[in-house]
Amino acid sequence: MGKFQRPDPPKIYIYHIDHENDRTYTENVVEYLESRGVLWRSITLNAEGSRPELQLCLDDGATAVLGYNSQLDHSWLPSGSFMAAAEQHGITILQWILDHPSSRWPEFHSSTAANSRFLLNSEQERQYFQTYCLPGALTRTMGGVGPNRRSRIATLTRQSFMRRSVACMIPLNLRRVRSIAQNDEAISAFEGPLADAVHDAIASAQYDLIGSLQSHVTAVLAGRNQSVSRQTFNSLCHAVEQSVQTFRRLKIFATAQRYPVLIQSNESAAPFVQGSAASLATNVAMQLTLAQMPLCRAVLSVSSTTDAIHDRTMNALNGGCVAIAEDNLASRGLLKHNINALLFRYHDDSLDECLDIVCNQPERAYEIAQAGMTLRDDPRVRFGQFHNIIDLAQPAVEFGVRAPAGFR
């Protein structure tokens, strides 16, 4: 019998465009991979689709290549499609869809169940993808992009908390994958019965913090005895998701404007904030937002799906802030209202109560922040389900082998 040989360690290439958000996500992934002894290399992609830098992972025999949204799908080598070349080389392509798949799947053109595996942020989004985007594809959930090192503080004391200059940071953009106007135009473009179905689904979903987005759309279509293609269903869900998020964010602004809080958004939020007790900062970069969280007593954020906790909420816990989050399905599994976080809904005055605590009751806020900070190393917060990056990058291998030259 031959001598047993340990398998080579996995090598995961992370390719991303030169955008601050993508660089931040990559920092989080790298922190996890290093904690597991996985070899990695991060490479910035050219802005255009011709990306010869991808040849390196093919020549090096990478275990897997990770990209965000449709960036790898849109990549080409001098020899042709990168997706096809990676499949020929037996390299696993992992594509992490960071937004609701209804908004991103129409961008994909070269991805198949054979040449790609997909990471989604939540189980609802994973099930949506399996049903309405690419049935039969290998998929896993990530639990969000996770907290970042910039928001993490060493310790939290009462004195330092009381010195924090911002009562509450509310970083919520009104413009997301598309603007409010663009979304309204998309709804208007539907034929009459479908436009009516969208409006009904929006009304049904806007206060629901437990059910999935698709459940509202399917219920409305069934009630109208309407059947649509997967492509049309994606378009309907995209419009509903965008509208629901806009409704919720405007509801938050309407309440927050009565308090001395800091709202961070894009310029389109100005009419809803100007002349109020709240202040507005526009187009603040992600990494600056993370770095400034330890200056805030509280951070308020929302999720695009009811079964996920947003990374800004995780970063709030990381920075010793009071996490103000929706009273949704995911929050109920981790956060306890008025104990380690503050939870709110959209149909009552619960958000008023949350903001009153962080703005006017600093001692109570400190107690909640202190309890919340103990959650930051909870596996559900620290790295979520990042292990699925490795699980999808089969074959399974041992970890901890020293990296060769050029790899970290």
Band (398; pLDDT cuts 50, 70, 90): very low
- Where are the domain boundaries for CATH 3.40.50.2000 in the chain? 149-382
Calpha distance 82→91 (Å, rounded): 11
Residue 2 has pLDDT above 60, yes or no: no
Helix (H, G, I), strand (E, B) or coil at 355: helix
> What pLDDT shows up at residue 395?
52
> What pLDDT shows up at residue 396?
36
Q: Name the percent of the chain lying above pLDDT 90.
A: 87
Tens-place pLDDT, residues 27-73: 999 999 999 999 999 999 998 889 999 999 999 999 999 999 999 99
Residue 291 has pLDDT above 90, yes or no: yes
Instruction: Enumerate residues 6+ apart whose C-beta is below 8 A from 406.
Output: 41
Residue 400 has pLDDT above 50, yes or no: no
> What pLDDT shows up at residue 399?
34
Tens-place pLDDT, residues 204-247: 999 999 999 999 999 999 999 999 999 999 999 999 999 999 99
Fold designation for 149-382: Rossmann fold (3.40.50)
Q: How many CB atoms lie within 10 A of CB 325?
A: 26
Instruction: Enumerate residues 6+ apart whose C-beta is below 8 A from 163.
Output: none
- Where are the domain boundaries for CATH 3.40.50.2300 in the chain? 11-146+384-392
Instruction: Enumerate residues 6+ apart whose C-beta is below 8 A from 402.
Output: none
Average pLDDT of the segment spanning 385-389: 95
> What pLDDT shows up at residue 177?
76
CATH H-level, domain 11-146+384-392: superfamily: Response regulator (3.40.50.2300)
∠ Cα 289 290 296 (to 5°): 80
Q: Is the pTM of this model over 0.85?
A: yes
Q: Which amino acid is at 61?
A: G
List 280's β-bridge partners, or say none.
263
Contact 197, 225 (CB under 8 A): no
> What pLDDT shows up at residue 3?
54
Residue 139 has pLDDT above 50, yes or no: yes
Mean pLDDT of the chain: 93
What does the block give as tokens for 330? 């995911």
Cβ-count burial of 80 within 10 angstroms (0-12 exposed, 13-18 middle, 19+ buried)?
exposed
